[in-house]
Amino acid sequence: MDEFEVLLDAEKISVERFVRFKINSKADADDILQEVYLTAYQKFAQLKSRDSFKAWIISIARNKCNDYFRGIANQFEIPLEELTELHQSDSRYGTAEISLVRDTIEMLGDKDKQILYLFFWKEIPQAEIAKRLNVPIGTVKSRLHTAKQNFKNKYPYYTGISKGENTMKRLPEFIPEYKIEVSDKKAFDVKWEELMGWFLVPKLGEKLSWGMYDIPSRKCSHIYDMQVTGKAKVHGIEGVELTAREAAYSDKTDVINRTFVAQLTDTHCRYLATLRNDGDVRNYITFLDGDEFMLNWGFGEDNCGNETNLTQKSDIQRVGSVVTSIKKDFLLDIVGRYLVTINGKSYDTVCVMDIETYNCGVVSEQYLDKNGRTILWRRFNRDDWAIDRYKKLWSEQLPDNEKIVVNGTTYVHWYDCITDYIL
């Protein structure tokens, strides 16, 4: 075998899994896979690093799937962002997705399905359809119009505008300039009820939008629209279900939907389950599923979750950009009081630092006001974090970004998050 065949043979299962998760129709998926392999073969000489082959061919597969959905979107005259919107959940093995288009068609009546199939899939002209069905062409036009409208009405996410668009537009394209000043006042205790990593308080009626901003460009890369959708119970433990809709700021067609179940008590906040779609089965991965759940969503001993009643424990000490800490699992602590000025407003906050509790090599700063709400969240990568993937130290990739030193190790500022709470 030549070099391309060797590399493809090693990654073929991953490519097929990716496409088949996106495309329900086996025939359509097979056609797309052939296009992926052909395009990859033709452009193989352009691939600079053979180590990037998997990511490269998956990106080709993603583009081919997007082309498939774009074609259907044009046919059905609905926004592409609605057509490509997918239910998706994370796991240590990657992501799983399922298209809603075919399910919607199955909900239509026989006449609607017939006319849509003949016109869009078989691409038969309306005059020829009239002859085949032995009806006037005016009837064909009327039935086609009705069928398309029925499809739009039944499509789960069709609302006339992109779902969540109103709230998402509130988030600025660039993060406002901000200033963080050390206060000489004692750090206050705070009740922090937000779901760790997602900023939403898991209570009925809660909803929130937040954005992720690259540094130093300060430009928003992704926006998240979240809400609690109702009560839920996992293995007899009561909580709430919440959804998170993620979209790329510059490409509203790049959408991911996630579903979680979380529990908030007087002392802790934790994840109970996350949704993964396996074909047409909604599969919840729960806290009883061992590493499959714990390595991605678990926190604390026996998944107790993060503490909600925060007080300064002195487990982490910070002086300027120098941080020292004791050796301890789940290391999260208040490190001081700060005045954060952002978007024309000033907030009295405490800074909560998290040292590698959920991701080895990552430190975060979370500035909370007296209501326990996040004003600003900042991520720092250990200088060699994911170096096998990025091939460079972060101090080389982002030489002008802020740095902190934690127990003698350098960490580099990567991105920030803000929520609509401050807008």
Do 73 and 111 lie in a common domain?
no
In a domain, 60, yes or no: yes
Query: Is there a single domain that holds both residue 109 and residue 13?
Result: no
Instruction: For residues 112 and 255, state if they share a domain.
Output: no
- Domain CATH number, residue 135: 1.10.10.10
Which residue in this structure is represented by tokens 């030489």? Answer: 399
Closest listed residue to residue 103, CA positions, set 94, 113, 114, 115: 113
What is the mean pLDDT for each group of 10 consecutive residues in the chain (423 residues)? 87 82 76 93 88 87 81 55 44 38 67 81 83 90 88 55 45 94 96 93 94 95 93 88 88 78 92 76 79 76 84 94 85 94 95 86 95 96 91 95 96 96 92
According to the model, what pLDDT value does residue 257 have?
Answer: 84
Clarify whether residues 280 and 135 are in a common domain: no
What DSSP element (H or E) covers 325? strand 322-325
Last residue of a domain, one of 60, 77, 94: 77
Same domain, 142 and 199: no
Rounded Cα gap, residues 31 and 283, in angstroms: 28
Task: Give dist(CA 175, CA 212) in Å, integer.
Answer: 9
DSSP 8-state secondary structure symbol assigned to residue 117 = I
pLDDT tens digit sequence for 257-267:
889 999 999 89
Structure tokens at 28: 């359509």
Residue 170 lies in a domain: no
For residue 148, the model assigns a pLDDT of 84
pLDDT at site 100? 52
Q: Are residues 196 and 276 in the same domain?
A: yes
Q: What pLDDT does 90 receive? A: 44
Q: Within a domain: residue 220?
A: yes
Given this model, what pLDDT does residue 166 score?
Answer: 42
User: What CATH number does residue 19 fall under?
Assistant: 1.10.1740.10
Query: CB neighbours (10 Å) of residue 126?
Result: 15
Q: How far apart are CA 132 and CA 143, in angstroms?
A: 14
Joined together, the tokens standing for residue 336 give 């001081």
415 and 369 in a common domain: yes
Neighbours of 241 (CB within 10 A): 21
DSSP class of 328:
-
Do 411 and 332 share a domain, yes or no?
yes
The residue whose two tokens read 């002195």 is 314
378 with 292, same domain: the answer is yes
Specify the number of domains making up the chain.
3
Q: Residue 176, preceding bond cis, omega within 30 degrees? A: no
- Report if residue 232 sits inside a domain: yes
User: Is 87 inside a domain boundary?
Assistant: no
- Give a yes or no: residue 171 inside a domain: no
Is the residue at 368 inside a domain?
yes
- Rounded CA separation 98/85 (Å): 9
Q: 383: domain CATH number?
A: 2.40.360
In a domain, 159, yes or no: no
The answer to whether the Cα torsion of 177, 183, 187, 189 is positive or negative is negative
With contact defined as beta carbons under 8 Å apart, do 366 and 351 qualify?
yes
Give the residue from 43, 77, 111 where a domain finishes: 77
Phi/psi for 110 (5° steps) reads -60, -40
pTM above 0.85, yes or no: no
Q: Which of 135, 270, 256, 101 is nearest to 198 (CA)?
A: 270
Half-sphere exposure of 163 (CA within 13 A, CB side): 20
Domain final residue, candidates 138, 154, 170:
154
Whether residue 192 sits in one domain with residue 53: no
Residues 416 and 292 in one domain: yes
Same domain, 219 and 315: yes
Q: Is 35 helix (H, G, I), strand (E, B) or coil?
A: helix
Q: CA angle, 54 as apex, 24 and 198 as ends, to 5°?
A: 70
Say how far apart CA 113 and CA 111 lie, in whole Å.
5
Domain that holds residue 47: 3-77
CB atoms within 10 A of CB 105: 20
